[in-house]
């Protein structure tokens, strides 16, 4: 096990975890419930963390993280190819029908 990423919050941690799992990387979120004690412990310890099961997955995990961060910088909307609904560009799945918006 190897610490890979200090998340901003639980949502951030699980978004990355989901992307890693999609890429076939086994990872875990730790510290997700300790934010209530921020102030009592160093922030580095209190934030949710994403850990990789296998250290050798790190190069691929770095690529997944870079793609996620690139997605965050996207603005505007993406139109669902299946149902035609507009979705925020940061969404992976259509809010309306659940189709994968990242398929190109």
Of 43, 56, 50, 40, whose CA–CA distance to 10 is shortest?
Answer: 50
Return the number of the residue (11 or 95) whose C-beta is nearest Zn ion: 95
For residue 85, CA distances in Å to 18, 33, 40, 55, 90 come to: 23, 35, 45, 40, 14
Residue 83 within binding range of Zn ion, rule CB under 5 A: yes
Return the number of the residue (28 or 82) whose C-beta is nearest Zn ion: 82
Q: Which of residues 2-21 bind Zn ion (CB under 5 A)?
A: none
10-22 and 58-72 helices cross at what angle (nearest 10)? 120
Nearest distance in Å: CB 89, Zn ion: 14
Residue 101 within binding range of Zn ion, rule CB under 5 A: no
Return the number of the residue (53 or 100) whose C-beta is nearest Zn ion: 100
Q: Which of residues 20-79 bind Zn ion (CB under 5 A)?
A: none
Binding site for Zn ion (CB under 5 A): 80, 82-83, 85, 94, 96-97, 99
């Amino acid at each position: 096990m190897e610490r890979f990423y200090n998340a901003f919050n639980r949502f951030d941690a699980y978004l990355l975890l989901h992307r890693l799992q999609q890429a076939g990387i086994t990872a875990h979120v730790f510290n997700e419930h300790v934010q209530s004690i921020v102030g009592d412990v160093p922030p580095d310890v209190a934030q949710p963390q994403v850990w990789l099961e296998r250290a050798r997955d790190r190069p691929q995990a770095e690529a997944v993280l870079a793609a996620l961060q690139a997605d965050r910088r996207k603005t505007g909307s993406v139109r669902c190819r299946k149902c035609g609904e507009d979705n925020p560009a940061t969404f992976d799945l259509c809010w309306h029908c659940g189709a994968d918006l990242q398929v190109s």
